[in-house]
Structure 1
Amino acid sequence: MSDMSTPGGAEAFEKIKSLLLGDVSRRLEETAQRVEKLDDRVGDEKKMSVSTGDALIDAFRRAEEKHPRDLSNAMAPSVVSIIRSEIKNSKDMMVEALYPIMGRLVTSAVAGAFRDLVESLNARIDALVSANSWRLRLRAMATGRSMAEVALAEAESGRLKRALLLERGSGRLLAIWPEAEEGVEGGNADLESGMIAAITEFATNVYADKGGELRMLDIGSGKVFLRASPRVIVAGEFGGELSGQRGKRLDEAFLSIVELHEKEEDACTPAAIGGLLSDALAEGPAKPKSKTPVLIFGAALAGLVVWFSWEPVLHAYREWRIRGAYEEAMASHPALAQYPLRLDIEHKDGRVVLRGLAANDAEPQAILESVTRFAEPYRVEREVQIVALASQTQQDLRAGETRAAATLQEAQAQIEALRGELKETRAALDRLAGEHDAPRAKLQRFVENFAVFFSESDTLLDPAATAARLDELASLLKASDSGLRVVGYADDVGATVSSRSASRKRADKIVAMLVERGVPRNRLALVSRSTLNPIADSTLDTIRSRRVSFELPYAGEFDVR
C-alpha cells in the first residue's frame, strides 16, 4: 500500500472518498444552503414576522382567487365579531371613523352613477314630442324634479332588484333571489350581507333602550327594506318608489319568509322565497286606459295655441283697419302729400301717433279725426310741426322781435325794483345785526340765562364758576354803561324774617363782588324779594330757590332819587 503522505497517496484517498461519500457530501452541502436560507428568513423575531406576513398575504391572495366564497364564509364570523366588539367598546370612535369614509365613498359613487343616468334620460326625453313627454314635463313642474327623475321613478316604481336571506349576527348568506347563473359568482352579495348584518346590529345596540329596529336603508338610487327575527334578516333592494299598497304586500311577504325559516329552515330556499315575493309583486288586472287625460291635454293645448295666437291676430286686424282709414283720409287731402307725414301704431303702449311736418293745423287734425273711430280702444296723438311760408316767417320774426324787446324792458324794470328791495332788506339786516351785537343786547341775553346759587345763608354753591361768570358780567356792564338790579331770593323754610335777611345778604354779597370787579356802586340796585317767586318744590329741592338773579332797569329808573 502506498504512503498517504506522498502526492500520489493523497490523490488516491480523495478518489476513494469521492466514490464512497460523494452523494452524502452533496446532500450535506444542499442542507447547509437551505439552513442558511432559512436562517436568513427566520433567524430572529423581526425576520420571522416579515416572512410570516408575506406567507399569509400570499395565502389570502390565492384563496381569494380560487375560493372566494369559502374565504368569505370563513372570515365573516370573525369580522362581524370584531366589528360588534369594536362598536360595543367604542361607538363614538367607530361612527367618527366609518361615517366620513364609507358614507362619502358610497354617496359619491351612487350620486355619480345616478347623475350619469339622469343626464342620459334628460337627453332622450328632450328629444320626445309625444303626449307622454308632455305628461312627464307637467309632472316634473308639479313636483319640482327633473323629467329624468320622474321618468326613472315611473320606470323603476316598485321593482325588486334582489332579496337576501342572511344569518343575524354573523352575516352569513343563507339564500339569494333571484339566484346567480351557473358559473357566475354572486357579485358583492356576501359583502353586502355582512355589511347589512353589521349595520343592523349597530342600530340595534345604539337604540336598544328605545326598542328600535332598523327597517330601511336609503342608498340614493333605491331603498333596502329590512325585516328581522332573532335568527335571520330579510333584505330587499328596490329601485325607484314603492306604492303604499305594494309595500304592504311585500312587508307581509317578508314576514312570511321569516316565519317560514323559523318553522322549517330547510324549506326556506331561493325558490320558496321567489314564490312568496312573486305573489306579492304580481300586478292586479289591468284597467282599460281612459281617453279623458288625452282629451283634456288636447283641449289644454288648443287653448294655449288660441291664447298665444290671439294677441298677434288682434293686432294685425286693428292695424289693417287703422291703415285703411289713414290712406283714405290722406287721399282726400292731396296737399299733405308734399310733406313728410307718417302714422305709427304702437300696440305695446296702446296709441296711434301722427308724426311729421305740415303747413297748418287743420289738415293734420282732419286726418286724426278720420282715424280716431277706427283706432279705438287706442288713443290718438299728434306730433306734427307746422312749417310756415317765407313771408309769414319774416312777419313772425319781426313780431317776435317786438315782443322780445317789450319783454326785455319789463324784465329790466323788475330787476331794478328787486335791487331796491334787496338794498332795503340788507340795511334792515345790518340794523338788526348791530342791535344784536350792541353791548346792552349782549347784557340782556346774559342776565336772562344767569343766576348765582347758594347753599346756606350767603355761602356760594360753586365759587369758581360764579367768579368766572361775574367777571364776564362785569365786563358787559362796563361796556354797556347800563345799570343792573341784583335780586336776592330765599326758600320758604323757616321764619319770614330770617328768609328776608338771608335773601338780602346774598344780594349784598354779589353786589360787593361786582364792585370788586370795577362796576360802579351807583349803577347797582340791591333788591330783596325773600320767598317770592320760588323755582323749586317747597316739599323737595327747596335749596334751588336760594339764589341771586339779575334784571335790567327801566329807562330813567336810576335817575329817580
Structure 2
Amino acid sequence: MDENDKLNILKEILLTDEREYAYNISKKIEILEKTLNERKLLSQKVDPIVDGKIDSFVENIPKTLGPTITETLKQEIKNSKDQVVEALYPIMGKMIKKYIQQEINLLSDKINQQVENSFSAKSWKRRFTSWFTGVKEEDIIISELNKAEVLQVLIIDKNSGLLIGSYEKVATIDKDMISGMLTAIKHFIEDAFQNKDQSLELIEYELYNIHIQNFISYYIAVAISGNYTTEFKNKLQDIIFDFSQNYLKLFPDPSKIEEDVLVKELSHYFNDENI
C-alpha cells in the first residue's frame, strides 16, 4: 500500500460524516425548492397558517376594530343626517305602510265579524246604545274591539317588594323580577317628589298600562292592554277594593295565603265577565 492509498483511506475516514451532512442539506434544499415551485405543495404548507391568522383576525375584530367602526359610523351619521334620512325614508315608509295596512285588514275583519252577528243580543244592545247616545254603531264596534283587558294582576309587599301572589292570562317573564322592578320604580318616583301623601298610580308602557292601587302594607298592580278609559279605571278600582275588603282583609298576613287559593280568588274577581 503506497502513500496515496493511505491518504485516500484517511480521507474516507475523516470526510464521511461531512459528505453525508452535505448530502442531507442538498436534499432538503431540493425538497424546499420543489415545494416553493409547485403550488399544490406550497398550499399544503402555507394555507393552514393563513387560515389560522384569518380566524384569529375575525375573532378579534369586535375587540380591535369594533370601537373604531362604531365611532366612525356615529360620526358619519352625525355628519350626514340628511343622507341617512333620505336612504332610510323609503324603507321605513314601506314598513309603516305595510304595518298600517295589516292593522286595517285586521280591524276590517273584526268589524265584518261583528256585523255578521247582527242578530245577536249584543248587537241589539249596541244598536240601542247608538240610538240613545247618538254615537255611531261603527264607533261603538271599534271601541269594543279595542276594549281594555286585564292581562296580569300582582299583589306586592309595599316595603320589601316581594311578590305575595299573582294571576295572569298570558305567561310572562319572572314575576318576582317584575314585582321588584315595579317597587323600585314606585319608590324612586315617590321619593323624587318628596311627598309622602301621594303615590304612583299609573305606569304607561307603549301599548300597555299598569294600574297601581296602594294599600297600607301592600299594593296591587294590574297590567292592562287596550283602551284604558276612566270608566274602565273606575270599574277596576271597585273590583280591587272589593277583593281587598272581602278577601285579603280576612288574613292578617296576606303572604301566608296558599298560592293556589290566592290565584283562584284573583281569577274569580278579575275575569272578563266582572270587568
TM-score, normalised on structure 1?
0.24
TM-score, normalised on structure 2?
0.43
Structure with more contact order per residue of length (Cα contacts < 8 Å, sep ≥ 6):
2
